């Protein structure tokens, strides 16, 4: 049995905040889609184990780079857990999410597995290329489809839902990479944000968040309600404040926290406005 110290280190190594946030979003989407509790729980478990595999594989693959810059937030670097243990955990999580995807059934399970594989392509290769944004766009964009394609009857979400989540995914990529640009560049990582620079990345992220909020406001059919407008204004205020912090201090991680908050605002706005997937 692993010790509590190792369990804690593995929890920190899985990128706990993004894992928790994406899992919570999947639960909210399942509720918005009206999935039965059992099916909704299966969706959440599939997403959760997929996120674990993504986070652990990222730390496993980046271990040498993280050691070189002495990242104090990385358990492999501090010696709290062995790199091999993290790699094994990533493999077990990938096998688990694959099995849960099969249990989820066609086509929802296939889309769930596709989002995980898209994220793995980022970890394995695309993070160092101009296409670094693409896995985020695919994985986030397809997130609502995991839920709706697991419903009965299965159906694709509206195009505006897919577009809004894809935009949030690209923004999440830019915001997540922003604090580490200089260290990444020193070790040969040349993704899209690295090629355009810190402050342009902050401004582009803000523009993408504005576009995502506009899609969410104007995408649903019918008359715009007060909760839709309230969510739009709140998202703009959060995005504006985060952009200011990121522009002045690109090493700040407040931008990424802001995107999680904006996603939460949008989902609450969905629910209060009576929008269903």
In a structure prediction context, what are the per-residue pLDDT tens digits for the chain, which is 277 residues long?
Answer: 567 889 999 999 999 999 999 999 999 999 999 999 999 999 999 999 999 999 999 999 999 989 988 888 899 999 999 999 999 999 999 999 999 999 999 999 999 999 999 999 999 999 999 999 999 999 999 999 999 999 999 999 999 999 999 999 999 999 999 888 888 888 888 999 999 998 899 889 888 988 988 898 888 887 678 888 888 898 888 888 888 887 788 777 777 788 888 888 877 877 766 666 7
Angstrom distance (rounded) from CA 35 to CA 29: 9
50 near 97, Cβ under 8 Å? yes
Contact between residue 217 and residue 165 where contact means Cβ atoms under 8 Å apart = no
> In this structure, what are the phi and psi dihedrals at residue 158, rounded to the nearest 5 degrees?
-60, 155
Domains 1-129 and 158-277 alike in fold: no
For residues 138 and 12, give the distance between their C-alpha atoms in angstroms, rounded to a whole number: 25
Count the Cβ atoms, other than its own, within 10 Å of residue 106: 12
Query: What integer pLDDT is reported at residue 54 of this predicted model?
Result: 98
pLDDT of residue 268: 80
Domain 158-277: give its CATH code.
1.20.120
Q: What topology does CATH give the domain 1-129?
A: Tetracycline Repressor; domain 2 (1.10.357)
By the 8 A CB rule, do 262 and 238 touch? yes
Tokens read off for 261: 């908050």
Q: What is the predicted pLDDT for the residue at 220?
A: 83
pLDDT, residue 245, reads 80
Q: What is the pLDDT of residue 229?
A: 87
Residue 158 pLDDT: 93
Domain boundaries of the chain, sorted by first residue: 1-129, 158-277
pLDDT confidence of residue 131: 97
**Could you please report the per-residue DSSP string of 209-256?**
HHHHHHHHHHSSSSPPPHHHHHHHHHHHHHHHHHHHHHHH-TT-SHHH
Q: Give the burial string for 81-100 (b: 16+ CB within 10 Å, else e).
A: bebebbbebbeebbebbbeb
Instruction: Please return the burial class of 236, using the count of CB atoms within 10 Å of its CB with bins 0-12, 13-18 and 19+.
Output: middle
Q: For the chain, how big is the Rg over CA atoms in Å?
A: 19
Of 269, 139, 261, give the one whose Cα is nearest residue 215.
269
Helices 37-61 and 16-32, packing angle to 10 deg: 160
SS3 82: coil
> Which one-letter DSSP state was computed for residue 180?
G
- With contact defined as beta carbons under 8 Å apart, do 226 and 192 qualify? no
Q: State residue 20's pLDDT score.
A: 95
Per-residue exposure over 133-159, b if at least 16 CB sit within 10 Å of its own CB, e if not: bbbbbbbbbbbbbbbbbbbeeeeebbe
Q: What's the rounded Cα separation, in Å, for the pair 260 and 273?
A: 20
Angstrom distance (rounded) from CA 56 to CA 85: 10
């Amino acid at each position: 049995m692993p010790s509590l110290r190792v369990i804690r280190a593995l929890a920190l190594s899985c990128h706990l905040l993004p894992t928790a946030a994406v899992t919570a979003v999947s639960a909210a989407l399942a509720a918005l889609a009206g999935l039965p509790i059992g099916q909704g729980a299966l969706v959440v478990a599939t997403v959760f184990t997929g996120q674990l595999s993504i986070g652990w594989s990222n730390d496993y693959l980046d271990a040498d780079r993280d050691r070189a810059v002495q990242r104090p937030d990385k358990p492999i670097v501090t010696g709290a857990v062995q790199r091999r243990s993290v790699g094994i955990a990533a493999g077990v999580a990938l096998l688990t999410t694959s099995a849960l995807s099969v249990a989820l059934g066609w086509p929802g399970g296939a889309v769930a597995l596709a989002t995980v594989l898209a994220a793995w392509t980022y970890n394995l290769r695309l993070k160092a290329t101009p296409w670094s944004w693409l896995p985020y766009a695919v994985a986030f964009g397809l997130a609502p489809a995991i839920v709706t394609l697991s419903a009965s009857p299965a159906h694709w979400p509206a195009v505006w839902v897919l577009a809004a989540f894809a935009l949030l995914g690209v923004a999440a990529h830019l915001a997540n990479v922003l604090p580490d640009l200089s260290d990444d560049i020193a070790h040969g990582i040349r993704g899209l944000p690295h090629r355009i620079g810190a402050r342009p990345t902050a401004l582009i992220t803000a523009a993408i968040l504005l576009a995502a909020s506009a899609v969410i406001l104007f995408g649903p059919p019918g008359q715009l309600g007060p909760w839709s407008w309230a969510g739009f204004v709140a998202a703009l205020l959060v995005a504006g404040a985060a952009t200011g912090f990121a522009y002045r201090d690109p090493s700040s991680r407040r931008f990424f926290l802001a995107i999680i908050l904006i996603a939460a605002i949008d989902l609450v706005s969905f629910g209060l406005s009576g929008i269903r997937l």
